[in-house]
Amino acid sequence: MFMRNRRVLGAFIIGALAAGSIASVANTQPVSVVKACADKRTQALFISPNGTCPSTRTLVEIGGNAMNTKAISSLVTPSVVSISVTAASGSGTGSGSIYKTAATASYIITNNHVVESAANTGTIEVELNNGDIYPAVIIGRNLDYDLAVISIKKGNLPEIPKGDSSSVAIGDVVIAFGSPLGLSGTVTSGIVSALNRPVTTGSTNAESYMDAIQTDAAINPGNSGGPLVDSQGRIVGVNSAIATLGSSFSATGSIGLGFSIPFNQAQRISDELIATGKSTKPILGVSFDPTYTGVGARVYLVTPGKAAEKAGITVGLIVKKIDGFKINDAIAAIVRIRSHAPGDQVTIVVESSAGSAKTYTITLDSAPALP
C-alpha cells in the first residue's frame, strides 16, 4: 500500500492495495431524457430514434444537461484501467484513464505515486475493462503535480471523454471511477464539496502540490490515478488523495474528503510528457520562509533574473493575495502559483513589514518539473 502523510486536514492517503471486482452507484435524475448509443470503441454518441442500439454500441440516456449515473458508468468504464506495480520496495495497485490512443499504442494518465516505485526497476501491468492485461512502460513523470503517463502496446482503445475543470462548480454532481483496495470497476458518486483546496503530499524536498477539487464521492486507496467525471461523463479531475482522521482514530478509509487534481492541469502536463517525456511548472522566482507563522507567505529568497525580481518583489515582503485568493501560508501560495501554466499572468498583493500594501502583475517563468 502506498501511503503518505498530509499537512492539511489530518492525514492524506494516496495509493492502493489488491483484491477483486465490484461496482456501486447512486442515480441522479436527468432532465428531458434523450436516448442515444455510445460507440464501445470511440465513445462517440449517436441519437437513437427508436431507443435501441446495435451490438457495437451501448444505449445511454442523456438529459438536457446531464446523464444518469448508469449511463455515465456505461460511457466511462471502458476507458478506466487498473494498474498493478511490482518493485523491490513492494507491490500495489492503482487506477488510470485512457487519455490518447493510436493504431498500435495507448497513453494512460495516472498518479506519479502509483508508478514511481517502478521508475528504475520493477514492472507495471495494465488491466483493461475487458480483463485483458498488458505490460506498460513509463513515458514520463511529474512529481510536482503527482502525475504520470504510461503506455501500453495496444491501440484503438476508448479514450476518456475530456472535460473542462475550470467550469466545475461547488455542488456539481461528480462520479469517481477506479480500483479501490484492488476492486476494479468500482463506481461511486457524490458532489463537488469545495474548489481550490490547497493540498500537498509527499516528503520534504519531494512534495506534490494540488489546487484540488474536493469531493465527497467515496475515494479509497487504489482509486489513485482514476478519473473524477462530471454529469456528462467527462473527466474533470484525477483522483489523488483522501483525508483521514489520523493515527489516533481507527478509521482509515474514506470519510467523505477526497481530492482530485484538476484535469486542465493534468492535460497540460500529460501532453508535455507524451511529446517530450518531460514537463514544466510555473515559477514566481521566490522561496517562502517555512518558519513564518503569521497570515500570508513571507519571501525570504528572491531568485536573480526571475519574474519576481524583475517585478520588484524583495525579501521580507508578505504575499497576502494571489489572483484575489487569500493566502494563509506558504503552501497556499505555492499551490496558487502551480494552478497556472508557465507564461500566465498573475496578480499578487504583498504587504511590507510596515503594513503598506502593493499590487504586482507578474508573468510566471517556466522551470523543469521533477523528476
Active site residues: 113, 146, 224
Q: Buried b vs exposed e over 337-363: b needs ≥16 C-beta within 10 Å?
A: bbbbeeeeebebbbbeeeeeeeebebe
Q: Buried b vs exposed e over 17-53: b needs ≥16 C-beta within 10 Å?
A: beeeeeeeeeebebeeeebbbbbbeebebeebeeeeb
Q: What is the DSSP letter of 344?
A: -
152/150 Cα distance (integer angstroms): 7
Distances (CA, A) of 10 to 59, 86, 275: 43, 29, 37
SS3 category, 254: coil
336/338 Cα distance (integer angstroms): 5
201: buried, middle or exposed (CB in 10 Å: 19+, 13-18, 0-12)?
buried
Q: Are 95 and 226 in contact (CB under 8 A)?
A: yes
245/255 Cα distance (integer angstroms): 8
Residue 166: how many CB atoms within 10 A of its CB? 10
Q: Are 141 and 371 in contact (CB under 8 A)?
A: yes
Computed on alpha carbons and rounded to an integer, the radius of gyration of the chain in Å comes to 21
CB-based contacts of 316, cutoff 8 Å, min separation 6: 298, 299, 300, 352, 353
